[in-house]
Structures are given as C-alpha cells and as structure tokens.
Amino acid sequence: KNEVEQSPQNLTAQEGEFITINCSYSVGISALHWLQQHPGGGIVSLFMLSSGKKKHGRLIATINIQEKHSSLHITASHPRDSAVYICAVRYSGGGADGLTFGKGTHLIIQP
Amino acid sequence: GAGVSQTPSNKVTEKGKYVELRCDPISGHTALYWYRQSLGQGPEFLIYFQGTGAADDSGLPNDRFFAVRPEGSVSTLKIQRTERGDSAVYLCASSLGVAGAQYFGPGTRLTVL
C-alpha cells in the first residue's frame, strides 16, 4: 500500500522557535504538496514541489526525491502558525489520480 | 467567484436518505477532485474529473456513491441510502490541469443520524 508518513504527529513549541515537519513516502511521485488546515477551517495549499526547495515568507519546503522525503520548515514561528500541516503526494506511474494524504501534524505555537 | 465553493456547508440527514453535495470550482479549472475527511484523519481521495468525464473513480467506497460533472464545471457528489459511517467532511478541490496546484473548497460537513 502506498503510504505517506508524517512526523511528528503533534508538536508544541514556543513563539520564535524554528519548526521542522517531516514527510516520507514509499514510491515514486510526480508532485508533493504541503497543505495547512486551521481548526474548523478549510485547507490551504502552501507549496507544490517536485524537486529542490521553495520559500514563501517564513515557510520553506524541501524535497529529496532519491530519499523520498520532504520537510516543511517554519522560521520565527508565531501563534498564528498553529494549525494542522498535511503532506500529500501525487504518485507517478499509475494508481489513483488524486492526492494521497498523510495524517497531518498538529502544530501549536505558544506565545 | 475567487475560490472553490461548496454547498451546503453543513448537512444533517437520517440513515437511509439520499444526499447531494455541490462543488463550484475555480473558473477555468478543468480538473476537479472530491475527497472525504473523517474526524482526526487526513483526507482520502474519492474521484477525479478531467472536464466532464470521471477520469478516476477508484476512491469511491461503494456503489452508493456517485458523482457527475455534466458541463465540465459544477460537480455534484451523490450518496444513496446514507449510512452513519458516511459522516465526514467532503472536500472538493480544483486545478488548472492534473499536474497543477489544487485549491480546496471549505468542505461540506455531512452528519448521518
């Protein structure tokens, strides 16, 4: 079964800390997405990447295709960053055309 | 509209009833996806449309679930003979093409009593 594993499942940190959330997957992909979901809110797409690194504001996403691993980093974290961060992949070479999602990382940033 | 919209935002129904959930994608987006998210879980893929046709319905759990997109824009997810286990948030997303970034709607929270 093609799975997407995220770690940690839960993370509590203090405001200002550097945050890293990890995602690993089992087979080849054509794209990896990082998504953000606030409690009771909708899902917002943060990044879509297939190689290298992308940066948007305080958020950085990296992917290592050979190691089948991606990380989402948050610099100078703030309480408003508190949310569930979800990694999702689109597998290449057949299979479902939709995204396969990880279970999410619950991030709480305390002031 | 600027984003993906879904109606209704909440739907409460009784076991055995029929429900329809609607998704309005971003204008011009040819790809449309339906996902289902149960409490505490990540979303699960249900079905993907490219234009009017269902390009991949491998995620539909059984034949009680059906979706249409007759004009290549608005899509309706239909659930027959609802069961309590169907309770979840049903998410719709659209993208310019299959390889594009997916933009998610706010979801429809379905509760089957």
pLDDT at B44: 92
Tally: H helices and E strands in chain B: 0, 11
Rounded Cα gap, residues B91 and B9, in angstroms: 10
> Distance (Å, rounded) from C-alpha B12 to C-alpha B30?
30
Check B99 against A30: CB less than 8 A apart. Answer: yes
Instruction: Give the chain A residue nearest B108 (alpha carbons).
Output: A42
Amino acid B15: pLDDT = 97
Q: Show which residues on chain A lie within 8 Å of chain B, measured between beta carbons.
A: 4, 30-31, 33, 35, 41-45, 48, 86, 88, 90, 96-104
Digit-by-digit pLDDT tens for chain B (113 residues) are 579 999 999 999 999 999 999 999 999 999 999 999 998 888 999 999 998 988 888 899 999 999 999 999 999 999 999 999 999 999 999 998 777 788 999 999 999 99
Q: What pLDDT band is residue A1 in, cutting at 50, 70 and 90?
A: low
What separation, in Å, do the N-terminal and C-terminal C-alpha atoms of chain A show?
40
Q: Report whether the peptide linkage leading into residue A8 is cis, meaning its omega lies within 30 degrees of zero.
A: yes
How high is the pLDDT of residue A2? 60
**C-alpha dist (Å) from residue A81 to A76, A85, B73:** 10, 10, 33
Quote the minimal CA–CA distance from A12 to chain B in Å.
18
Are the CB atoms for B93 and B101 separated by under 8 Å? no
φ, ψ for residue A58, nearest 5 deg:
-90, 5
* Phi/psi-derived region of residue B89, left when phi > 0, alpha when psi is between -120 and 50, beta in every other case: beta
Cβ contacts of residue B6 below 8 Å, gap of 6+?
A: B21, B22, B23, B24, B90, B91, B92, B105, B106, B107, B108
Q: Of A100, A3, A2, give the one whose Cα is nearest residue B46.
A: A100
CA distance linking residue A64 with residue B25, whole number of Å: 32
